[in-house]
């Protein structure tokens, strides 16, 4: 049997939600407590946010989504070694 990779791994997290809109829809509904139905359209947007000025910093989101005329920036944050002091 192959190695099991955690969904908190960045690549797995992105692939899980981007390739499975039903899971992404359920995640948004449950975590954000939004009235989202199975028929609501989800649009995956470009995760790169271009700065407004030349000295600005380029930002790359894990997942950038538009749904019901609202945009959601979804980021995975994980720690490897428990709690920090």
Q: Comparing C-alpha atoms, which of 64, 61, 65 is closest to residue 77?
A: 61
Q: Comparing C-alpha atoms, which of 52, 51, 56, 24 is closest to residue 40?
A: 24
Contacts (Cβ under 8 Å, ≥6 apart) of 73: 61, 63, 64
Q: 40-73: per-residue pLDDT in tens?
A: 888 888 888 888 888 888 888 888 888 888 888 8
Q: 16-33: per-residue pLDDT in tens?
A: 888 998 898 898 889 888
Residue 42 contacts residue 24 (beta carbons within 8 Å): yes
pLDDT of residue 82: 58
- The residues spanned by each domain of the chain are 10-74
DSSP code for 84 = -
Global pTM value: 0.68
Residue 39 contacts residue 64 (beta carbons within 8 Å): no
């Amino acid at each position: 049997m192959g190695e099991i990779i955690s969904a908190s791994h960045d690549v797995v997290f992105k692939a899980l939600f981007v390739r499975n809109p039903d899971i992404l829809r359920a995640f948004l509904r449950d975590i954000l407590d939004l009235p989202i139905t199975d028929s609501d359209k989800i649009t995956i947007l470009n995760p790169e946010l271009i700065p407004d000025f030349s000295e600005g910093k380029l930002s790359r989101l894990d997942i950038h989504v538009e749904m019901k005329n609202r945009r959601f920036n979804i980021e995975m944050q994980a720690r490897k070694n428990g709690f920090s002091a």
